[in-house]
Structures are given as structure tokens and as C-alpha cells.
Amino acid sequence: MKFAVIVFPGSNCDHDMYHAVKEILGEEVDLVWYQNSNLENYDGILLPGGFSYGDYLRSGAVAATSDVMNQVKVHATKGKPVLGVCNGFQILTEAGLLPGALMRNKKLSFMCHQEELLVENNETMFTSGYGKGEIVRFPIAHGEGNYYCDPETLSSLKANNQILFTYQNNPNGSVENIAGIINKEGNVLGMMPHPERAVEALLGSNDGLKLFQSIVKNWRESYYVTNA
């Protein structure tokens, strides 16, 4: 499987994502500059954390209008897995690939520490390696991670089992403790905690590795079925 890590001006977790995929997962991966909109040769797309365009206007708002995001939308429609972490999650909501919005943390301060998450849905291409109800530890590092959506959208997320991760100790004020959601089709995941920073015990947790392994496993199974 070959991944593209999209790099915007201001991305600062791109090499973390690259390391997790290349060195720990052992899969092919390229750092793809945002001006390169050709994603045809990639099987999965990763939007890393950081401060794209300095978080001007709103976090992720400018990056969401870039040409490469038009291609991300095209390939998401084709069913390719798309993972947006932290600023990547913000970009996905600004681009309309996921519902809701990310606001300032409830205490209006930047947070950087480990958080415990509950796996709410383990029947997706991103979470099949986990047990339902499993507690995992991922680091967070954000100032605008307070997930918000209106009551109608929240009801839809619940009805369609689109909430994948929730916080055990909600650090930022997110509605219903939401830490990560997928689209209705199940191939686009946005989350504020950083699984790519939780792939080695040396970092304090390797719970994030299962997420990347789940992507690869499910992609391969789908690929072989499609090309059999």
C-alpha cells in the first residue's frame, strides 16, 4: 500500500506521519507538497497536523481551498482511505468532507499531553484492529480541538455510528466528548488526537499502530477482492 502525506505551508507533523508509516508500519509513503495535485498513484491519503497557512481565517480554512484538496475529494469519492489528524481534521471539516467544526478549546489554551480515548466503533477500516470499548492512549496537541456540530448533525452521527473515538476526560469541550468521526461512507476519518505519535512504546504508547495496521489490512482485503 502506498500513502501520500500532504504537506501544506505550516504543516509540522508531516514527518511524524511519514515515520509512522515508513519506519514502523513498513509501507510505502511520500511527502506530497500541496501544489502537487496528482494523487492518482496513491492508495491512501494522510493529512497531518500543524498550522497550515498559520491558521489564518480559521484553522484549516485556507488549506481546504487548495487544488490538492479538490483531488482529495475526488479520491475520497472513489473510496480511498483518507485520514486527517489535528489540523488535518480541521481541514476535512472546512472542505466539507466531514460535518461539524473545530473551535477554540474551552479553556482557550493550547493543550499538549496524553489522553485516554474510548473506541466507540471498531467495525470500520480504521478501527477493526481494536476491540469495541477498548481504552487507548494518544497524545493531543491543539488549541482549536473543541468539536461542535448542531443537534441534527449529532443525531445523524450517532444513528450512523460515525463516532469512532470519544475522550474519557474531555479536555477541550467537544460535544459528546467526540475525539474522532468518519463520513457516512466510512473511508474518511478525522480526529484531533495523534495516532502517529503513539506507534512506539518509547513515545509513551503504541496504541496508534493498530489504526494504521487496520487501514492496510482492510485496504489489502478490498484490493484483492476487487482484483481477483
Q: What angle do CA 37, 74, 222 make, to 5 degrees?
A: 110
What domains appear along the chain, each with residue ranges and CATH number? 2-226 (3.40.50.880)
Spatial distance between the Cα atoms of 150 and 154, rounded to a whole number of angstroms: 6
Which one of the listed residues 86, 94, 144, 149 is annotated catalytic?
Answer: 86
For the question of residue 194 being annotated catalytic, the response is yes
Are the C-beta atoms of residues 145 and 105 closer than 8 Å to each other?
Answer: yes
**pTM, entire model:** 0.96
Helices (H) and strands (E) in the chain, counts: 5, 11
Residue 213 DSSP code: H
Of 30, 72, 82, 27, nearest in space to 220 by CA: 27
Q: How is residue 8 written as a grid cell?
A: 501544506
Which one of the listed residues 27, 94, 144, 196 is annotated catalytic?
Answer: 196
Residue 64 DSSP code: G
Cβ partners under 8 Å of residue 116, min gap 6 = 135, 136, 137, 167, 168, 169
For the question of residue 142 being annotated catalytic, the response is no
Spatial distance between the Cα atoms of 225 and 201, rounded to a whole number of angstroms: 34
For the question of residue 75 being annotated catalytic, the response is no
Which one of the listed residues 27, 115, 120, 194 is annotated catalytic?
Answer: 194
* 3-class SS of residue 162: coil
Output phi, psi for 75, to 5 deg. -75, -30
Per-residue pLDDT in tens (0 to 9) along the chain, 228 residues: 999 999 999 999 999 999 999 999 999 999 999 998 899 999 999 999 999 999 888 899 999 999 999 999 999 999 999 999 999 999 999 999 999 999 999 989 999 999 999 999 999 999 999 999 999 999 999 999 999 999 999 999 999 999 999 999 999 999 999 999 999 999 999 999 999 999 999 989 999 999 999 999 999 998 655 665
Write the burial class of residue 83 (CB in 10 Å: 0-12 exposed, 13-18 middle, 19+ buried). Answer: buried
Are the C-beta atoms of residues 82 and 91 closer than 8 Å to each other?
Answer: no
